[in-house]
Structure 1
């Protein structure tokens, strides 16, 4: 990522904005702006030494998708500049690709607080970073970068997974 892109995003982003890390090969990593230059996103889950070595190898062999091959993620809060993306990725504020209106700030904060630190399996078609980011911002999980899928359609599976954590069923 270019330093000037990060600086521009940080100087213009507002809490709850969708942050897109556009990869050179045509798909993107997504997060939600969380003030002070930070983003919340599907990050790498905590792992031991052996898994860290395996991840490093996969990232060398598959620099764009090595993380998702491991399949475990954790919702993390990181500085935008520290998010691990492939060389040549562009970072930008992208709030206009999902045909939805943002939730009130209190609702976005509630979803963020409930999901921060949670671990999830990474499922490219039904539980990915774009599903997470759109759920936090809109209250509905949407992913528009899956080939062959209709655009702007809610992924009920991802919405349900996230919603069950935000407002667990009382027994």
Structure 2
């Protein structure tokens, strides 16, 4: 007697996933780049195949060489060790991810209602090209992406931390850039 196993849907390769995201995403959608080691890089979809995300800050030749050495030893997290980021607009297909990553639209992991599009665009415009330190627990790419979408910075992938809890420190950093004091 043969047992029929359920048929699994074929998995898409990374390039197919990118095409799927670009063809289905709408402005303000959260884009998740899921790394094979269990954590993700996050950005916000910005139309025309682009994502806004924490990226490597501009750097000189010496720092670039140092980054290359660090990434050779720590290929999945070398950028984090230098601790500097710049919020950039980049094609989804050009975001640097490790082999085996997956990319997808992920709007349902933060128990928040999205802000009106005009608010998201205001936050995006104010934060684009800003250079910020990278702080794993208090100012990271997921904090940035959720702040743009919801107006509150949230990170649900830090082990041992309460899920869907606003990181007030990150929200305040971003909010000061979006609405600086007029004093």
TM bucket (normalised to shorter chain) is over 0.9
The size of the alignment, in residue pairs, is: 171
Runs of 4+ in structure 1 deviating by more than 6 angstroms, as ranges, are: none
Work out the CA distance in 2 between the residues paired with 1:30 and 1:106: 21
Asked if 1:49 is matched to 2:72, the reply is: no
**Distance apart, 1:58 and its partner CA:** 1.1
Distance in 2, Cα, partners of 1:15 & 1:129: 17
**Structure 1 length normalisation: TM-score?**
0.99
Q: In 2, Cα distance between the equivalents of 1:95 and 1:57?
A: 35
Asked which structure has the greater CA Rg, the reply is 2
- Check if 1:152 corresponds to 2:164: yes
Inter-partner Cα distance in structure 1 for 2:29 and 2:76: 24
Question: What is the Cα deviation at residue 60 of structure 1?
Answer: 1.2
Q: Distance in 2 between matches of 1:147 and 1:8?
A: 30
Q: 1:79 aligns with which of 91, 94, 98?
A: 91
Unaligned runs of 5+ in 2: 1-12
Aligned residue in 1 for 2:130: 118
Structure 1: unaligned runs, 5 residues or longer: none
Q: Quote the residue 1:18 is aligned against.
A: 30
DSSP-derived class of the 1:19 partner? strand
What is the RMSD computed on CA atoms of the aligned residues? 0.7
The question of 1:139 aligning with 2:137 is answered: no
